[in-house]
Every structure is written in C-alpha cells, then in structure tokens.
C-alpha cells in the first residue's frame, strides 16, 4: 500500500496507536512542516480539512503548504513519530519535536514548549531568577513564542488572535511574554477584526481573529513590568492558550 492510498487507520490500528505524535512532511523537499499530537485519525485531518471554510480560519503557512502540495499533484507524507503514549507524554514529545524542527508551521510552540523548551543559559537564568511581576493594572498577557524572531515585538504581539475582544478592551495594558518573561508593554487604542482593511500591512487576514492598534506604554508603566517574570499561576505546564488575563 502506497502513502497515497492511506487516508485513515482501521479501528485495530487506532487501538494500538493510543496517543501519538506525528509529523507532516512536504514531498517536494522532504522537510517537516508541521508537528502535532492526537488519537485516531487526527494525523489525516489537516489534509482533509485544508480546503474547508473552518480550516481557513487557521490561516497560516500550514494551509498554504498543504494547498501547494495538492496543486503540484502530490500528497502530504504522514509520519507517526512516536505512538503508544498517554496524553501527558504526548504533550512533552510534541513540544520537544517542535523545538527540533524550527521550520515547522505551528502557530504556537506546542504545549509547554515556550515555558520548558529550548533556551540558552541566559534565558534559563532570567526565567528562574527574574523578579516576579506584581500586577497593578488589568492586563492581557500574550505569549508570542518564536514569532518574536520574525517580527518586532509590537507586531508579534498585536496580530492576530482568537480573543474575547470585549474582555480584552477592559484591560489597561497588553504584556508581551516570551519564555515566561515580559518583553513588551503596550497601551491599546482599539481592537479590530484581523481583516485586510484594518491591517493591510500583514499578509494573512481573517474575520475570526482580532488584532490591536496601540503604542508602547509610558516609561513609568514599562518599569513595573518589563523583563519581569510572569507569576507561576499564569504559566501552568501544558497550557497551550497564548492569551491570559489577570482579571
């Protein structure tokens, strides 16, 4: 049976797989472009959903890559990297693999990846010795993960998120968080749908996510938060949502 013939696992195979971690590989260059975890036939759902309306809301390089592979008359290569695991072990393996494949198109760095993943010695010291934040305002904390390396901190923080915009509007400030440390503090003027007319400077757009327009907080406010460590209750292991509130 060829790779192209397999679009789902039988019930017998699913029973043996339990939780597994998988990679999606581009047959045009042999590179891993997505890492994930799941049960059953989760590994095949990305390909099946690539052209559906719901999947388009997951806008980004993963969908573009799958569409380009299909347009070339090829199919995604599905690799089960490790199987027979419980869910917690799968979380850890997934996060480690995302670190190992920095070119993967995952929007966030996997469960626990940002908090417990690859860091240099200085980052480790900052994570465990930096002064802890003492909140004096209502804030939204946005974990920007590796997007900080592709955009400046402001752009990496402000666009584009699945967020309760009405709740976010109640915040005094937005804190940009990278590996548990506050790296940016912003005053928001307005939250807007992440559409082309609101954010023409970005290449991907949707009407199901939000971004904000704002500016750096004043120096007095930045001194309260910048380069300080987010309290542990907002850094729970395995928490994948990049949006957190202190109110």
The answer to whether the beta carbons of residues 147 and 173 sit under 8 Å apart is: no
The residue written with tokens 């089960």 in the block is 80
The answer to whether the beta carbons of residues 179 and 127 sit under 8 Å apart is: yes
User: Which residues share a beta bridge with 226?
Assistant: none
pLDDT score at 99: 78
The C-alpha atoms of residue 45 and residue 55 are separated, in whole angstroms, by: 10
Q: The pTM is what?
A: 0.62
SS3 187: strand
CATH fold of 121-245 reads: 2.30.130
- Please, what are the averages of pLDDT over each run of 10 residues along the chain (247 residues)? 70 94 94 94 87 53 86 91 95 87 63 57 74 96 70 91 95 94 96 95 88 98 95 72 93
Residues of the chain with CATH 3.40.1440.10: 3-106
SS3 51: coil
Find, among 183, 185, 184, 174, the residue nearest to 244 by Cα: 174
The C-alpha atoms of residue 100 and residue 110 are separated, in whole angstroms, by: 12
Q: Could you give the angle at the alpha carbon of 43 between the alpha carbons of 163 and 15, nearest 5°?
A: 120
pLDDT score at 206: 87
Pairing of strands 31-38, 243-245: unpaired
| DSSP 8-state class, residue 231 | P
DSSP-derived secondary structure for 69-111: HHHTT--PEEEEEEEEE-HHHHHHHHHHHHHH-TT---SS--T
- What's the order of all strands across the beta sheet hosting 243-245? 210-216, 181-193, 173-178, 139-143, 243-245
pLDDT score at 22: 96
Residues 6+ apart with CB under 8 A from 193: 206, 207, 209, 210
Residues of the chain with CATH 2.30.130: 121-245
CATH fold of 3-106 reads: GIY-YIG endonuclease (3.40.1440)
């Amino acid at each position: 049976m060829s790779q192209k013939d397999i679009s789902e696992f039988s019930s017998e195979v699913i029973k043996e797989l339990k939780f597994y971690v998988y990679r999606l590989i581009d047959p045009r260059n042999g590179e891993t472009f997505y890492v994930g975890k799941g049960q059953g036939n989760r590994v095949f759902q990305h390909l099946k959903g690539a052209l559906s309306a719901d999947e388009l809301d997951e806008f980004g390089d993963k969908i573009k890559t799958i569409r380009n592979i299909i347009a070339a008359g090829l199919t995604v290569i599905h690799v089960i990297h490790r199987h027979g695991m419980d869910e917690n072990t799968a979380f850890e393996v997934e996060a480690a693999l995302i670190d190992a494949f920095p070119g993967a198109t995952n929007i966030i760095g996997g469960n626990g990846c940002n908090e417990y993943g690859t860091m240099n010695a200085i980052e480790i010291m900052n994570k465990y010795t930096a002064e802890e934040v003492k909140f004096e305002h209502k804030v939204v904390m946005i974990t920007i993960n590796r997007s900080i390396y592709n955009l400046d901190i402001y752009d990496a923080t402000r666009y584009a998120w699945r967020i309760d915009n009405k709740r976010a509007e109640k915040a005094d400030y937005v804190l940009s968080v990278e590996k548990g440390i506050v790296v940016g503090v912003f005053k928001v003027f307005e939250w807007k749908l992440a559409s082309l007319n609101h954010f023409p400077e970005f290449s991907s757009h949707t009407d199901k996510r939000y971004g904000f327009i704002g500016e750096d907080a004043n120096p007095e406010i930045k001194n309260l938060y910048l380069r300080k460590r987010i309290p542990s209750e907002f850094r729970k292991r395995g928490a994948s949502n990049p949006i957190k509130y202190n109110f």
